[in-house]
Amino acid sequence: MFPSYLQAPNSNEIGTFLALDFGGSNARAAVVELKGDGTFMELHRVSRPLSDPITGRELRAPSVNAEELFDFLAEIIQKVLDHSPLSPIISSSIPFPLGFTFSFPYHQRRIGEGLLLNWNKEIKTAGVVGKDVGELLCAALARQGLGSVVRPTAIINDTVATFLTAAYQDSSVDIASIIGTGHNTCYLEPKAPGFDGSLIINTESGNFSAVPETLYDQRLDQQSDTPGEQLFEKKLSGKYLGELFRQIILDFSERGFLDFDFLRHWNQPYSISSKDLSLILTAEDNHSRHLFNIPRAELDIFRRVTLLLFKRSARLVAASLIGVILHQDPHLIKPHTVAIDGSLYEGMPGYAQELTAALSEGLASKSSLVTVKLSAGGSLTGAAIAAALEKLM
């Protein structure tokens, strides 16, 4: 439960800001113009992968150090500046503010600081864990010759970025959640201890642990790179649902419920993705059987297991959202809007409907007070809004 050091935007933040988004396989930078009244425009964007098979560059490897990674990020910012309309208005005497969406677990003691707690998403770059990513970026910008031109002013994660982008456009938004490869939720705390007024709180809900476990959850956790960590996320997010499915099906086979011969090629961990599960649900019977070499007799079982995993995922997310809502508003007398981003919620057939149904069941007669809306792709805009809010502080 980390403070973001940011209040909600009021839709009137105005100005042009640099934004940087680093959250996994790609890094992106952009110039974003906030026009006020909840409107904005992305003027220029540059995106680069951390892994390039042509050149052999792999910035996620433990053999790569912090300086190399952050020099790469500074180069992307330089490319944005070189091809954007900012050049005439940037003054070397007044560094241009930059918001930084950094989508990894970090500890924050002020708006421009973020100490990386641990890497995830298969990134293992050396020399970053325990360091302030704001300082590392500032040092890289200085090496790039941009030290007096660009100043990182605000660091947020992708969940807070989703909140800021959605709340900038809709003042009723008071909760945001990522339901994709990973999972996290943030919310607007009406009166946070030690702060004046309301504050966005990053719950790091993917690390919640007080949730009933099945044998399959325990196996997945024990065989993961991070045993005992992110236990809630491991039960519901896109990265893990395919592996949970594989564990269940192989267990059924070992118990003699399914034919093992056609499953031999599934012995590799994480060989089934959530996208594969989506195809099992949506593809025509013949096409689905051809894709996965599934005998007709087993296809209905596969679909039933997939549906149960998706339903459990949606209900766990709903339970955590209800907990946040009732913390904010114990008697549920005010309307609340939840903004959601993420590939699982947006792309998995029926997932959004399962989440809505679970919220309706849990909130009963008060469910009409809670609205859920998709707010996709807000990481860069959210970073710009964070820089604008910091400027007003």
Q: Please give the Cα distance from 309 to 313 (Å, whole number).
A: 6
Task: Calculate ∠ Cα 96-378-342, nearest 5°.
Answer: 145
**Residue 74 located in a structural domain:** yes
* pTM of the predicted model over 0.85: yes
- Any domain includes 365: no
In a domain, 125, yes or no: yes
Q: How many residues does the chain have?
A: 393
pLDDT in tens, the chain (393 residues): 889 999 999 988 999 999 999 987 889 999 999 998 889 998 889 999 988 877 777 888 899 999 999 999 999 999 998 887 665 555 556 788 999 999 888 888 899 999 998 887 778 899 999 999 999 999 999 999 998 889 999 999 999 999 999 999 999 999 999 999 999 999 999 888 888 889 999 999 999 988 999 999 999 999 998 899 899 999 999 999 999 999 999 899 888 887 766 666 778 899 899 988 998 888 766 665 566 677 777 788 889 999 999 999 999 999 999 999 999 999 999 999 999 999 999 999 899 999 999 999 999 999 999 999 999 888 999 999 999 999 877
User: Residues with Cβ < 8 Å from 174, sequence gap 6 or more?
Assistant: 8, 167, 187, 188, 328, 336, 337
C-alpha distances in angstroms, 359 versus 59, 180, 203, 337?
Answer: 41, 19, 19, 12
**Coil/strand/helix, residue 137:** helix
Q: What is the pLDDT of residue 291?
A: 63
The residues, any chain, with a CB within 8 Å of residue 102's CB and separated by 6 or more, are 22, 23, 114, 133, 155, 156, 157
With contact defined as beta carbons under 8 Å apart, do 43 and 51 qualify? no
92 within a domain of the structure (yes/no): yes
pLDDT, position 34 = 94
Provide the domain count of the chain: 1
Domain-located, residue 304: no
Look at residues 22, 2, 161 and name the one whose alpha carbon lies nearest to residue 103. Answer: 22
Give the domain extent around 53. Answer: 2-170+378-392
CATH (domain of 25):
3.30.420.40
- Looking at residue 88, what is its pLDDT? 52
The C-alpha angle 14, 374, 30, rounded to 5 degrees, equals 40
**Does residue 166 lie within any of the structural domains?**
yes
Identify whether 245 is part of a domain. no
Q: Does residue 108 sit within a domain?
A: yes
Phi, psi of 75 (to 5 degrees): -65, -35
